[in-house]
Chains A and B, each alone.
Chain A
Amino acid sequence: MDSSFASEMAGLFLEEVEDQLHIMEQEILRLERDGASDETVQNLFRAAHTLKGSSAVMGFDEMKRLTHEMEHVLDQVRNRRLGVSTKLVDLLFQCLDHLRTLKEQFMAGSGIFVEIGAIVHELRNYAFGSEDQPERPKEAAIGEAVLCMEDPETWAKVRNAQDQGFSVYDIQVRLVPDCPMKSVRAWMIGHRLRSLGEMLLTHPPGLEELEDAEENGTVFDEESWPSELRYLLACQTTALHVEETLLTISDVAGVRVTPFPVWQREGAPVSAAAAPAVGAPAGAAPADGSAAGGASGASAHEGTGAANGGGAGAVPAAEKRKARTIRVDVERLEHLMNLVGELVIDQTRIHQVGSVLHHLYAADETVDELVQVSDHLARVIGELQESVMKVRMLPIDQLFSRFPRMVRDLAQSLNKEIDLVIEGRETELDRTVIEEIGDPLIHLIRNAIDHGIEPAEERKRKGKPAKGRLRIAAAHEENQVVITVEDDGAGIDVDKIKHSALRKGLISEEELKKLSDPEALRLIFLPGFSTASSVTDISGRGVGMDIVRAHIEKLSGVIDIDSRPGEGTRFTIKLPLTLAIITGLLIRLSDRMFVVPMSSVMEIVRVPPEAIQTIKGDAVVVIREQVVPVVWLHDVFRIPRMRETKRQLPIIVVGTADKRMALVVDELVGNQEIVVKSLGSYVGKINGISGATILGDGQVALILEVGGIGRWREMRAGRAS
């Protein structure tokens, strides 16, 4: 009872985190794109606040701490004490990444969490530089250097401490404006710091000494005490720890701890070496908030084809919709789906029994009625199945909403300008498909940005707009979802592809001559193909199109490419709406039943045995003037081939546009809706089989994975040659 409550709590918490992170991401992007609007900042603040509250309830301290700091910074932005800069946007993105990692680690349940000290430190530094003027230039290190220069003795102390392996921190503390007894406060801060290490210098001066409080304590001129205090401390602790210590003192409004640069003999700072264990200190090098802005970056806007407008106008509608939805555990849905699957199976049996009875007792009215009820039941179950399937559907926005951030980061790192257009966010497809299609899409997007879209200069030279355009779209087409990734970049040079394929021995010269341009383009899907001339860390060597294709085929989908040199490239992916229930073609091999997903079936033919010829040891058959390699499924599954006594062999042509196979089977049984079930992790991955289903008579039939059969054929062909 208790533990199930706890896991339910955790489940709800994680869902909320996911929701809030999603909001954060949207709002940070909006902040970057449109600048600080009250609404954006308020939404961000609220998201951080919500997360702080719920992570506190869950006892998730790391997340609570980080969101607490975020909330503080955002509160200052909200109150116009802090401006919005690229630095802030980057910082918020970093926070988002940390929160995502934390969430995943929380899910993993190991209790091990990413170190958030560095990011907390940066947030505080950012918050510190605020009070009155937004975007105040940071002159910390420079100012302190002057301080040291003025006093050779201090300078010597700093160097001495650093030589001995101490960290020297420039500590700035701001007191709350109406702080009473500032002098005592300042002294007490100094006192606390001295418990951590050796005080080298204070400003105002004199705070470092003081065991003789009594004599010292007579004259106080509170008015003249500044609210900003400065200490130079040599110690062996981290900047974060120093911060933590100071923040537990009351009337302290803000703290900035900057590691002091390590000074070489002649006085030039070696700034990089000064980085302490806590991670990248923002203050160590003068951070210019505007450096990253302007030159690069990506903007995203709602595509014209999209139904909802996005942005502020869409909020009320979204909120209204939210009120009418409920959360359902995915497992419950899966269970529901399984039950519907059972119903489908039982219904098939009832139908079969009905037909048998009808045959036996053609004149019996009761049997007639049974058949009628059975037909009605079939319709109801069909609708039920469809409804449950619809519940499993999610808008693809779940996936697409990750792209603006990714495109932005990639564009920035490659110094390219990209206009991202996303269309059809509302297109729904099965959640498992959404989960699986992410990686291949990301790969295509990376390729488009890395290799497709040219740098702005080059684009201008070519007379193109400086900003590249990347379009990601989804739409329903009959019983499929079509996803398009399209760029207006350099396009793909077919001749280069041909040469490359030839050079790598992926294709012979004669074969190449026969290829049309669209066919040649598809060579990039061959394993081991690569066109990238340069190696970047974005998409490696441009390899991986074969992996993308394999991934999509695993989802019973197909991918196609269209490209024009100089104009751009378009990838089109067609996917089934769901993977849970598919239309399968039942076949028999010897005495065993298998299912071929109809999505893989291109056509079904019957040929006389002699139509199968052998060319260079490979069995082939000519279908519609195309030579198609032949595979006896018996061989794949080690089932003895039947004597070829039949006059016609049933053959199923499967595959994608670039790769066809003719599968020889013993018998075609028929089409049927089947519920896909996993073989489980104990059986594990079996090449050529994607799962199983339970047929009307209770028998288990295995479902073929056409991609795996293709690989089996290639392996065997490779071994033969």
Chain B
Amino acid sequence: MASLGREQYVEVVIGKERYALKIYDIHEIIKMQPVTEIPNSKPHVKGVINLRGKIVPIVSLRHRFGLPEEPYTKSTRIVVVNHADEMVGIVVDRVNRVVTFSDIQPPPERVGSVHGSYFSGIGTTDDGLVSILKLDQILSE
């Protein structure tokens, strides 16, 4: 296996950009679900869903990355990650594939319009560069 010894990531798409999340951080990936909005909550918290009897908050990175909210499509997914002993769902436009990187570079000051501190690095794949999301940072206040 070519990936042996290398960490695996899940490549997702938000807007036009490709991002990667460590597979280790991911609890599961589910289809879009009806989200119950929570009035007066933080702007990036879209609401909560019922994940087999558990209440899981859903976060949109579009707000964080300065993108307008778009209607959900058939390919919209919720990537449920483990964060500080809780589960949090991140809405992405699409989940592409599992990838490994032949090389990871430190993130630049900015990636497109997004501040570099949201990324732990830029990974190189056989078909281009992918920004690796820094979970703690993107989920923080």
Contact = CB atoms under 8 A, between A and B. Distances in A.
Interface stretch (A600-608, A635-643, A647-655): A635-643
A688 B36 contact: no
Contact of B40 (A342, A681, A688, A698): A688
A338 B34 CA distance: 22
B75 interface: no
Contacts of A701: 36
Interface in A676-721: 677-684, 686-689, 692, 694, 698-702
A338 B83 contact: no
Contacts of B57: 679-680, 682-683
B53 A636 contact: no
Given A681-B84, A681-B86, A692 B39 contact: no
A390 interface: no
B38 interface: yes
User: Which of B53, B57, B84, B88 has the largest number of chain A CB atoms within 10 A?
Assistant: B53
A700 B40 contact: no
A504 interface: no
A404 interface: no
Contacts of B34: 699
Contacts, number: 68
B39 A638 contact: yes
**Size range of the chain A interface in the assembly:** 20 to 34
Of A636, A679, A680, A702, most B-chain CB atoms within 10 Å:
A680
Contact of A680 (B40, B53, B86, B139): B86
A342 B51 CA distance: 12
Interface in A334-350: 338, 341-342, 345
B91 interface: no
B86 A637 contact: no
The contact size tier of chain B is 20 to 34
B45 interface: yes
Given A341-B53, A342-B53, A682 B36 contact: no
Given A592-B37, A683-B57, A694 B84 contact: no
A99 B54 CA distance: 38
B49 interface: yes
B55 interface: yes
A677 B37 CA distance: 16
A680 B57 CA distance: 8
B50 interface: yes
Nearest to B53: A342
A689 B50 CA distance: 17
A686 B39 contact: yes
Given A338-B53, A694-B53, A699-B34, A682 B39 contact: no
B41 interface: yes
A678 B53 contact: no
B10 interface: no
Interface string A125-161: 0000000000000000000000000000000000000
B78 interface: no
B38 A683 contact: yes
B36 A700 contact: yes
Nearest to B59: A682
Interface string B50-91: 100111110000000000000000000000000110101000
B55 A680 contact: yes
B130 interface: no
B48 interface: yes
B48 A638 contact: no
A637, A686, A688, A700: residue with the most chain B Cβ atoms closer than 10 Å: A700
Contact of B48 (A345, A681, A684, A700): A700
Contacts of B55: 677-680, 692, 694, 700
Contacts of A341: 53
Contacts of B50: 694, 698-700
Contacts of A694: 50, 53, 55
A636 B84 contact: no
A678 B87 CA distance: 13
B86 A682 contact: yes
Contacts of B56: 680
B62 to A, nearest CB: 18
A683 B36 contact: no
Contacts of A681: 84, 86
B36 A702 contact: yes
A695 to B, nearest CB: 9
A686 B53 contact: no
Contacts of B40: 637-638, 686-689
A636 B38 CA distance: 12
Given A692-B48, A700-B48, A679 B38 contact: yes
Contacts of A702: 36, 38
A591 to B, nearest CB: 11
| Residue of A338, A638, A683, A688 with highest tally of chain B CB at under 10 A | A683
Nearest to A700: B36
A338 to B, nearest CB: 7
A678 B83 CA distance: 16
A349 B38 CA distance: 25
Contacts of B48: 679, 683, 692, 700
A682 B44 CA distance: 11
Contact of A689 (B38, B83, B86): B38
Nearest to B34: A699
A336 to B, nearest CB: 13
Nearest to B33: A698
Most buried by B among A341, A637, A701: A637
A683 B88 CA distance: 10
B38 A699 contact: no
Nearest to A692: B55
Given A677-B55, A692-B48, A692-B55, A639 B86 contact: no
A683 B45 contact: yes
A586 to B, nearest CB: 14
A705 to B, nearest CB: 12
A211 B39 CA distance: 85
Given A677-B55, A680-B57, A680-B86, A686 B139 contact: no
B36 A686 contact: no
Nearest to A691: B55
Nearest to B47: A700
Contacts of A684: 41-42
A681 B139 CA distance: 12
A694 B54 CA distance: 9
A173 B113 CA distance: 77
A388 to B, nearest CB: 16
Interface in B78-121: 83-84, 86, 88
Contact of A682 (B37, B49, B54, B84): B84
Contacts of B83: 682
Interface string A611-651: 00000000000000000000000001111000000000000
A592 B38 CA distance: 11
Nearest to A695: B50
Contacts of A342: 53
Contacts of A700: 36, 48-50, 55
A341 B40 CA distance: 27
25 contacts: A341-B53, A345-B53, A637-B39, A638-B39, A677-B54, A677-B55, A679-B38, A679-B55, A680-B57, A681-B84, A683-B45, A684-B41, A686-B38, A686-B39, A686-B40, A686-B41, A688-B40, A689-B39, A692-B36, A694-B50, A699-B36, A699-B50, A700-B48, A700-B49, A702-B36
Shortest beta-carbon contacts, A-B, top 5:
A637-B39, A700-B36, A342-B53, A683-B57, A694-B50
Given A637-B40, A679-B38, 11 more contacts: A341-B53, A342-B53, A639-B39, A680-B57, A683-B45, A683-B57, A684-B41, A686-B39, A689-B39, A692-B48, A699-B50
